Amino acid sequence: LVCFGTLSVILLLKTKNKRKKKRIVTPKHLFFPDKSGHNASTLLNLISSLPSHSLDICVYCLNGKDFLEAILSVHKRGVPVRVITDNEESYVQIATLRKGGVQVRTNMSSSYLMHHKFAIIDRSLLITGSLNWTRQGLNGNYENVIITDDVGYLGGFLKQFEELWESFDPL
Amino acid sequence: LVCFGTLSVILLLKTKNKRKKKRIVTPKHLFFPDKSGHNASTLLNLISSLPSHSLDICVYCLNGKDFLEAILSVHKRGVPVRVITDNEESYVQIATLRKGGVQVRTNMSSSYLMHHKFAIIDRSLLITGSLNWTRQGLNGNYENVIITDDVGYLGGFLKQFEELWESFDPL
Ligand SMILES: [Zn+2]
Ligand SMILES: [Zn+2]
């Protein structure tokens, strides 16, 4: 299952340190499984390297080691990271993230799932799809990920994130 | 959680019987839960009323009564329907669809999930997101659905559908 290289989003990113523009070409979609590991690298690289202002994550199942490392590395760079997840599948990982200083809010309902699988980088790039941030998602399941900077999608997902962030306020 | 009405895809559809163009305005995204039931109606209406040439479904969990009725109604109108699903969660419903004459192919792997949640109408409109086609998806969970006619996405998902359709060939 190979990537179409023909259609892609071009993203201009002002890096925090170097104050020069870095050009990152992101695919419009990624499909899994991908035996080459290329798609997994692309996704993890986006999550860990791209954020310079914010990383907002809203993912149901979030227990993949590579994803956790990516999140913590962004936090360590000083970029504000917010994580929304469900308390059902990622119990241990929520504790790990909080211990590392990352803000995490969770859906505590036992009847309904916080089933989203999206993230927003710098309030300008949306990553969404079927893929949970797990080992099995990256390395076995049939999954899709969409990547877009289309404001028509971003507006709705930004609003959704803020609404859930408020409603899952731990206080 | 209300829909943004501002940004939408306009779709021109030539109906099979009346041979005149019907204009259907689809939102770019739907969020759930939606207490009004409006978003569920919009989605079910798209699936049941829009297809005039084909309906290709590739959804992990497909056991919601409303969705099954929508699928069977499209089939009964004479529109070719193909369903890919996982054998794990929709065992009874697969039998119901097959009994009704709908072609269904399933992922028989017990280690990995066919975890997609997308459908393509008339090879020109993609519906994808976190939402499984279940009662809980529509009526409880936090979920998103994206609707797009952007060929940049359609190309990849059409290809993915054909690849899985071939690889899950029951013969
Ligand atoms: Zn691709
Ligand atoms: Zn909306």
| DSSP summary character for residue B3 | P
B142 touches chain A (CB under 8 A): yes
Which ipTM value was assigned to this complex? 0.85
How many Cβ atoms are within 10 Å of B89's Cβ, its own excluded? 16
Q: In the predicted model, what is the mean pLDDT of chain B?
A: 87
Residue A148 DSSP class = E
Question: Is pLDDT of B10 > 50?
Answer: no
Model confidence over A55-99: pLDDT tens digits? 999 999 999 999 999 999 999 999 999 999 998 778 889 999 999
Q: Which of B144, B149, B162, B166 to mutate to test the interface with A (most CBs of A within 10 A)?
A: B144
The pLDDT assigned to A52 comes to: 97
Tokens (6 digits) for A9? 């989003």
Q: Identify the CA nearest to A66 among candidates A93, A103, A91.
A: A93
Residues B134-154 as b or e (16 or more Cβ within 10 Å = b):
bebbbbbbbbbbbbbbbebbb
Compute CA B167 distance to the chain's CA centroid, rounded to the nearest angstrom.
Answer: 20
Residue B13, pLDDT score: 45
Question: Which CA distances in Å does B120 have to A18, A41, B31, B146?
Answer: 44, 28, 19, 12
Q: Is the Cβ pair A130, B131 closer than 8 Å? A: no
The two beta strands, A81-86 and A103-107, are parallel
* Contact of A97 with A72, CB cutoff 8 Å: yes
Q: What is the H or E stretch that residue B86 is in?
A: strand B81-86
The pLDDT of B20-44, averaged and rounded, is 85
Assigned token pair, B106: 């399933």
pLDDT single digits (tens) B41-90: 999 999 999 999 999 999 999 999 999 999 999 999 999 999 999 987 78
Contact with chain B for residue A155, Cβ under 8 A: yes
> Is the pLDDT score of B31 beyond 70?
yes
Query: Quick check: B131 and B145 in contact, CB under 8 A?
Result: yes
Residue A171: the pLDDT is 60
> pTM, whole model, 2 decimals?
0.86
Task: Determine contact, residues B39/B60, Cβ cutoff 8 Å.
Answer: no
Specify the long-range contacts of residues A103-111, CB closer than 8 Å, at least 24 apart: A105/A164, A105/A165, A105/A168, A105/A169, A105/A170, A106/A168, A107/A164, A107/A168, A107/B142, A108/A168, A111/B140
Task: Note whether A140 contacts B1, CB cutoff 8 Å.
Answer: no
Judged against a pLDDT cut of 60, whether residue B5 lies above it is answered with no
Of the listed ranges A40-49, A162-171, B28-37, the least confidently predicted one is A162-171
* A114 DSSP 8-state letter: B
Give me the residue label for tokens 């028989």: B108
Kindly write down the DSSP assignment for every residue of A101-112, as one continuous string. Answer: T-EEEEE--SSS
- Residue B19's pLDDT band, with cuts at 50, 70 and 90, is very low
- pLDDT at residue number B91: 83
Query: Which pLDDT does position A16 carry in this prediction?
Result: 44
d(CA B97, CA B148): 27
pLDDT band at A8 (very low <50, low <70, confident <90, very high): very low
User: Per residue in A98-125, pLDDT tens?
Assistant: 999 999 999 988 889 999 999 999 999 9
Query: Which conformational region is residue A11 in: left (phi greater than 0), alpha (psi within -120 to 50 degrees), or beta?
Result: beta
B129 touches chain A (CB under 8 A): yes
> Of B117, B142, B159, which is closest to A164 when you measure between CB atoms?
B142
C-alpha B70: how far from its chain's center? 9
Share of chain B above pLDDT 90, in %: 74
pLDDT tens per residue across span A121-152: 999 999 999 999 999 989 899 999 999 999 99
Judging contacts by C-beta atoms under 8 Å, the chain B residues touching residue A31 are 156, 160
Residues of B with CB below 8 A from A164's CB? 142
Q: Give the three-state DSSP class for A39.
A: helix
From chain A, the residues in CB contact with B129 under 8 A are 128-130
The answer to whether residue B8 scores a pLDDT higher than 80 is no
Q: pLDDT higher for B171 or A120?
A: A120
Neighbours of A171 (CB within 10 A): 2
